[in-house]
Amino acid sequence: MASAKNLRPQGAEKPVFDINPVLSERVTHYCPGCHHGIAHRLVSEVLHELGAADKAILVTSVGCAAFAYDYFNVDCLEAPHGRACAVATGVRRARPEAVVFTYQGDGDMAAIGTAESLHAANRGEKITAVFINNTVYGMTGGQMAPTTLVGQKTTTTLQGRNFHSEGGPIRLAEIMAQLQGVAYAARCALDSVKHVKAAKKAVRRAFDVQIAGLGFGFVELLSGCPTNWHMDPVAANKRIATDMIPVFPLGVFRDVEGE
Amino acid sequence: MYRLRLVRNHVPGYGHTGVQKRRGGHRMNTGRMPDRILAKGNEALAYGAVDAGLKCYFGYPITPQNEIPEMLSALLPECGGSFVQAESEVGAVNMLIGAGACGVPAMVSSSSCGISLMQEGISYMAGSHIPGVIVNMARGGPGLGDLGPSQGDYFQAVKGGGHGDHRNLVLAPATAQECYDFMFKALTLAFVYRNPVMILGDAVVAQLKEPVRRVPPAGADTPEYLESLVRDQRIEGYGARGKAAAPRLLKSVYLAEGELAGRNRLLQKKYAEMRGEALFECEDVDDADLVVIAFGSIGRIARSAIRRLPGTGRKVGLFRPITLYPFPEEALRKLAPSRRFLVVEQNIGQMVEDVRLAVNGASPVYWHGVMPGLFIGADELVEPILRALG
């Protein structure tokens, strides 16, 4: 009978993997198959690699990621719904030496907080915004988000999102890329190993431009929400590739150093 | 900038600020700059803010407070501070949350409808114990209202305004000098209680130009002292507290059953302590038959009206609340038994409710309202005072 103990490396073998210390060991409240866990790990690994955790300040949002402060071992400040980029502006102006980032969902950043997000970006605030796009309001139980796909069924679009009465999904990365103050804007997906590796690079770059003082760093991460998509995690993962990426193309839309 | 150039040209000392870099205590006036300046209430507030050591200002243009952001956009960067013209009042107050959480002296300013937009953020500040100053140079309402003087924001300032159980400390200046002095007081209160503090004025207080002594009030705290008050609570990046320091969190959400109850008991305890901060000004109340109660600009006009009363042999005093929250109810209660009261305010009856609660039926409380947007003279209050004298 194999116990966990028997499976541990014996003798002089070195561990090949450890959870980075910026990510807390607390069990998350996220649903099975949710991609917040991957996104948290990418952000925490980048902070760890940059050696920036001790001067990092996370401004949390409202939505499923409201409790992100439980999972990042950094100083955290709660923002009202949608206002994380404005709160982060105040933090940045008060603490110019800090590494300031927000972590926001699509309702928070692309609906109620559009004004605060776009204007912080346009001012070129030296902050990083991690934007989770899962096309649905998760925390409140599956209502339509500004990023909901046309035809997608939610609890407030029972017949599917109707383009003629509800409009189409907002492509925030492309909008951000139009703003002069944005130093980096990219969209990645978290549905495959290849995409996750690319996402890690993008998150890193979104922090690099802040630390280099180049401007606002933005990265959009296409994520799955099996619970509110009414799918199992495998099917949800597939939906990102089949339904979301055609509407939300992956890529780097702005990088001031690459221009 | 037109107005600013005007200020630079006509206010002695402005423009070459004449303010020394800090040497331990407050930045003090140099010999080049006279102690006395001629300034509007708004301008005095801006001077008071930089002299008190303000580090961050966030705001959005709205009349009648525009001199505050205009002046601070020039003065604050000169003093090493940060000025942001926000995209909206919502943006501004949330920037205040960020700067206040970092433990630096910070403020926003706006007027009535803009303050309505800020109330969500003010509630979050109260719930998260975040210090900050909110200046409200009120205008007439409801709705877009008008730009004239109004005290229609008494409820908005004093009764919380935003959602949930919370209290703001509220200071009501009546003069440009008080605008200058109360910036120091407001920052001290904000940091001592880690609470939002509102300065409530109106178009008269904001726009009236008068001599101001630009010297920090006696006993004013230094910004270094204020920042030391929140050293153990501020957000800064844990490395500032040592390599192995525990991360900090400032928040107002408490979902587990009983958790919020505990937090709100903490707030309740703080608000009970805040009650000791009540301030007021009394004139000739000791042997008065009637005490006129009025705050802010109407307090000044009421004082002039009392001086103009024809000799009737009856004595009239003035009671001017300086803190609207906490309301100076204890002092009023002591005056109550042998005097009648007349509340004069520029609204349809707001402070009178607090006066009636304080007096609690011990003596008659009359009320005279002035409609918003009207610039009244002292003579217009003589008749209502005589009527209340009976």
Q: How far is B158 from chain A (nearest CA, A)?
A: 22
Q: Do B239 and A95 touch (CB under 8 A)?
A: no
By Cβ distance, the residue of A80, A83, A95 closest to B102 is: A95
| pLDDT value at A4 more than 70 | no
pLDDT at residue B106 tops 70: yes
Query: Pick from A56, A76, A87: which is nearest to B98 by CB?
Result: A87
pLDDT over 70 for what percent of chain A? 95
Residue type at position A147: T
- The verdict on A121 touching B (C-beta cutoff 8 Å) is no
How close, in Å, is residue B288 to chain A by CA atoms?
50
- Can you read off the two tokens belonging to residue B10? 């006509």
CB contact under 8 A, B95 and A90: yes
* Beta carbons of B236 and A87 less than 8 Å apart: no
First and final CA of chain A: distance in angstroms? 60
Cβ-nearest to B58 among A73, A90, A95 = A90
pTM, two decimal places: 0.93
Place of tokens 């349809």: B348
Q: Kindly write down the DSSP assignment for every residue of B258-291, as one continuous string.
A: THHHHHHHHHHHHHHHHGGG--EEEES-TT-SEE
Mean pLDDT of A120-133: 98
Chain B residue with CA closest to A56: the answer is B237
B339-387 pLDDT, tens digit each: 999 999 999 999 999 999 999 999 999 999 999 999 999 999 999 999 9
Please give the backbone phi and psi of residue A195, each rounded to the nearest 5 degrees, phi first.
Answer: -70, -35
Q: How many beta-carbon pairs below 8 A join chains A and B? A: 135
Query: Hey, are the CB atoms on B235 and A78 less than 8 Å from each other?
Result: no
B160 vs B113, higher pLDDT: B113
Helix or strand run (H / E) with residue A144: strand A143-144
Token match 């070195």: residue?
A14
Mind listing the pLDDT tens digit for each residue in A202-252?
999 999 999 999 999 999 999 999 999 999 999 999 999 999 999 999 999
- pLDDT value of residue B33: 60
The answer to whether B340 and B314 have CB atoms below 8 angstroms apart is no
For residues B46, B48, B53 and B54, what is the CA-based torsion angle, rounded to 10 degrees? -30
Contacts of B91 in chain A (CB under 8 A): 83, 86, 89, 115-116, 119
Q: Residue B52: pLDDT above 50?
A: yes
* Cα distance between residue A31 and residue A139, in whole Å: 11
Chain B: nearest CA to A56, how far in angstroms?
5
Q: How far is A214 from chain B (nearest CA, A)?
A: 18
Arithmetic mean of pLDDT, B71-94: 97
Is A83 part of the contact surface with chain B (CB cutoff 8 Å)? yes
Q: Which residues of A touch B103 (CB under 8 A)?
A: 94
Whether A116 and B239 lie within 8 Å, measured CB to CB: no
Q: How far is B253 from chain A (nearest CA, A)?
A: 8
For chain A, domains (ranges, CATH) are: 35-258 (3.40.50.970)
Residue of A nearest to B106 (CA): A94
Question: Which residue from A minimizes the CA distance to B92?
Answer: A86
Option in B120, B248, B252 nearest A75 (CB): B248
- Residue whose C-alpha is closest to residue B129's, from A9, A77, A70, A81: A77
Residue B159, amino acid: K
Closest CA in chain B for residue A57: B237
Give the model's pLDDT for residue A8.
54
Nearest CB to A78; choose among B99, B103, B253: B253
Give the residue on A whose Cα is nearest the Cα of B94. Answer: A87
Q: What is the pLDDT of residue A38?
A: 97
CA A192/CA A234 separation, integer angstroms: 11
Give how far the C-alpha of residue A46 lies from the chain's centroid of Cα atoms, to the nearest Å: 13
Question: CB contact, 8 Å: A94 with chain B?
Answer: yes
Residue B6 confidence (pLDDT): 38
Residues of chain B contacting A92 with CB distance shorter than 8 Å: 98
What single-letter DSSP state applies at residue A55?
A: G
Beta pairing, strands B169-171 & B323-325: antiparallel
The alpha carbon of residue A238 is apart from the nearest alpha carbon of chain B, in Å, by 34
Mean pLDDT of chain B: 92
- The strand pair at B209-213 and B36-40 is best described as antiparallel
- The four Cα atoms B320, B324, B325, B330 give a dihedral, to 10 degrees, of 30
Residue A98, chain B, CB below 8 Å: the answer is: yes
> For a pLDDT cut of 90, what percent of chain A falls above it?
91
Cβ contact B98–A54 (<8 Å): no
Whether B73 and chain A come into contact, CB under 8 Å, resolves to no
* pLDDT for the residue numbered B228: 97
Q: Which two tokens stand for residue A179?
A: 């703003």
- What are the DSSP calls for A103-167, one per residue? EEEHHIIIIITHHHHHHHHHTT-S-EEEEEE-SEETTTTSEE-TTPPBT--BTTBTT-B-HHHH-
Least confident of B34-38, B46-50, B274-278, B287-291: B34-38
**Closest Cα of chain B to A61: distance in Å?**
11
Specify the pLDDT at position A65.
Answer: 94
| Separation of alpha carbons B16 and A224, rounded Å | 58
Cβ contacts of B236 on chain A, cutoff 8 Å: 57, 75, 95, 98
Mark yes or no for CB contact A116/B56 under 8 Å: no
Closest of A91, A129, A133 to residue A206, by C-alpha? A129
Residue A43, SS3?
Answer: helix
Q: Answer yes or no: are the C-beta atoms of B317 and B282 closer than 8 Å.
A: yes
* CB contact (8 A) between residue A90 and residue B238: no
Contact A94 B248 (CB under 8 A): no
How many angstroms separate the CA atoms of A129 and B44, rounded?
A: 38
Asked if the C-beta of A88 comes within 8 angstroms of chain B's C-beta atoms, the answer is yes
User: pLDDT tens digit string along B116-169?
Assistant: 999 999 999 999 999 999 999 999 999 999 999 999 999 999 997 899 999 999
